[in-house]
Amino acid sequence: MSDSRSTGATPAYPSPLYAWSVVAILVIACMLSYVNRQVVAIVLEPMKTDLGLTDTMISLLYSSFAASYALAGLPLARWADTYNRKWLITGGMVVWSVMSVVSGLTRQYLLVFMARIGLGAGEAILTPATNSMAGDLFPRHRIPLALSVFQTGAIMGSAIAFIIGGAALQVMQDLSQHALPLVGRLAPWQLTFVVVGMPGFALSIVLLFLREPIRRNLAGMTAPARKGVPLSEIAAFYRRNWRTLVFHHIGFLAFSLAGFAFVFWTVAFFTRVHHVAPGEASEIFGWIFLIAGPAGVVWAGLLAGRFTRRGRRDANILAGLIGGALTIPVIILIQLMPNATWAFVLYAPALFFVNSPFGLAFGALPVITPAPMRAQVAAVYMLTASAGMAFGPVIAGAFNDHIFTGAQGVRYSMIALTAICGVIGIGCLMACRRHYVSSLDEADAVESATIP
């Protein structure tokens, strides 16, 4: 078989069975990454008590991860558009697993803070590299669904973090009574960090057996561009499509900010408002998350596909907008429930809708982006969306500390934050729809001109 890099020929896509097998492995990788990043929300209360932290300080542990995750994503994405993505993902997984274990081996807030920064840097390669690989594994019209399925790993990982985290806190309570070899006695929250970090080492070995996908749609590019698209070309792409990308990035960011705050403060909400034990609240929430969350992501991807078949060119944005808009009233209603039972019941539709936009947020971008810069455009959006991770929990925590104080304050903080973010998200995605159609038309024209 001739090398498509040198001849300019468009290689055949791999078999659907192999392509979806790669997606399945990447879903597991995504799942593990989210287990590691979300576990801090599960150990929030015991860690806060043990180290004497405020709500703002504990939420900064999530923000430090988010900042590192976003900033490291930009240079790593440039590598992903140029170098072997399999090796980049494998290396990132090893780094984030090490950092999770390190988080559990110290009782110093500053050291945990630094380990969370390392965790973010390790995880930053996975999403941009996957966005790049998806375009080489699937035809362009299949990419949104593939990336929506990939994002189910994020949802399942978050859910499993709460399920395992809640159970682990109880199991680790017994184990913490015994000194461990080399490290001595660890608190339950420390042992939880160590345990959730270990599976990544095993999966990194599995990743070594994947084939690096052949890069495609490089016809007409100069040799230097094949080695890395000039930043000027990426800037030109953003200038041509700035309305689409600005409204897309800010709209999905608003939903992301509300969603991350909602998930991060869930266990604290049930503990403070409804007096449910942290472990019990974590497990119940995790099981609801595991079922409803992935279903919402896949539903949105299928809804976008249905809209596309009906001839809607704005399908990817419209489906994300519908899911995000339906999230707002359900989250607000949860905060007003008189008891934990009704709150848990409403968590099913809330988690279904709150997660539904995020697969399409990424999936909408490769469809309009030239193949050699897909990872980098994904990383720019990831930088924007990471502000949701960074600031959603912190804003809610600051509201708890300074505005809506007391045990009941967490519910009013969530009502205020969700309402504000909902208005911004709906407004921006409504404005994005017609501009997205123009960007899609341009991408169709480019593909028609470059593919024989």
Residues 150, 29: contact at Cβ < 8 Å? Answer: no
Around Cβ 222, how many Cβ atoms within 10 Å? 8
User: Which CATH number do you get for residue 320?
Assistant: 1.20.1250.20
Pair of tokens at residue 22: 């790669």
Residue with tokens 């492995």: 25
What's the pLDDT score for residue 220?
Answer: 41
- Amino acid letter, residue 220: G
Answer yes or no: is 150 within a domain: yes
Taking alpha carbons only, the member of 315, 275, 310 closest to residue 144 is 315
What's the pLDDT score for residue 166?
Answer: 62
Residue with tokens 């804003």: 395
Answer yes or no: is 3 within a domain: no
Answer yes or no: is 221 within a domain: no
DSSP H or E stretch at residue 122: helix 109-123
Q: Of all residues in the chain, what percent carry a pLDDT higher than 90?
A: 27
Identify the weakest region by mean pLDDT among 22-26, 269-273, 424-428.
269-273
Greater model confidence, 227 or 306:
306
Most confident of 57-61, 96-100, 165-169: 96-100
Most confident of 41-50, 59-68, 414-423: 414-423
Structural domain range at position 430:
13-211+231-450
Summarised one tens digit per residue, pLDDT across range 241-256 is 999 999 999 999 999 8
At residue 201, φ and ψ (nearest 5 deg) are: -65, -40
Nearest-angstrom CA–CA distance, 281 and 56: 21
Taking alpha carbons only, the member of 131, 61, 117 closest to residue 89 is 131
What's the pLDDT score for residue 381?
Answer: 87
Nearest-angstrom CA–CA distance, 213 and 210: 9
Answer yes or no: is 216 within a domain: no
Nearest-angstrom CA–CA distance, 446 and 245: 18
- Judged against a pLDDT cut of 90, whether residue 182 lies above it is answered with no
Pair of tokens at residue 207: 């990743």
Q: Of all residues in the chain, what percent carry a pLDDT higher than 70?
A: 89
What's the pLDDT score for residue 401?
Answer: 80
For 14: left if phi > 0, alpha if psi spans -120 to 50, otherwise beta; the answer is beta
Nearest-angstrom CA–CA distance, 436 and 243: 8
Nearest-angstrom CA–CA distance, 307 and 94: 40
The predicted model gives 107-132 an average pLDDT of 89
For 12: left if phi > 0, alpha if psi spans -120 to 50, otherwise beta; the answer is beta
Summarised one tens digit per residue, pLDDT across range 70-87 is 888 888 888 888 888 999
- Amino acid letter, residue 342: W
Answer yes or no: is 41 within a domain: yes
Q: Considering its fold, how many domains does the chain have in total?
A: 1
Nearest-angstrom CA–CA distance, 325 and 329: 8
- Going from the C-alpha of 158 to that of each of 6, 31, 100, 328, 349, the distances in angstroms are 42, 7, 15, 20, 16
Q: How many residues does the chain have?
A: 452
What's the predicted TM-score (pTM) here?
A: 0.73
Instruction: Compute CA 364 distance to the chain's CA centroid, rounded to the nearest angstrom.
Output: 15
Around Cβ 445, how many Cβ atoms within 10 Å? 10
3-state secondary structure of 46: helix
- Judged against a pLDDT cut of 60, whether residue 3 lies above it is answered with no
Summarised one tens digit per residue, pLDDT across range 363-387 is 888 888 887 788 888 888 888 887 7
Nearest-angstrom CA–CA distance, 129 and 85: 6
What's the pLDDT score for residue 149?
Answer: 84
Partners of residue 176 on adjacent β-strands: none
Greater model confidence, 204 or 283:
204
| 332 burial type by CB count under 10 A (0-12 exposed, 13-18 middle, 19+ buried) | middle
Nearest-angstrom CA–CA distance, 252 and 256: 6
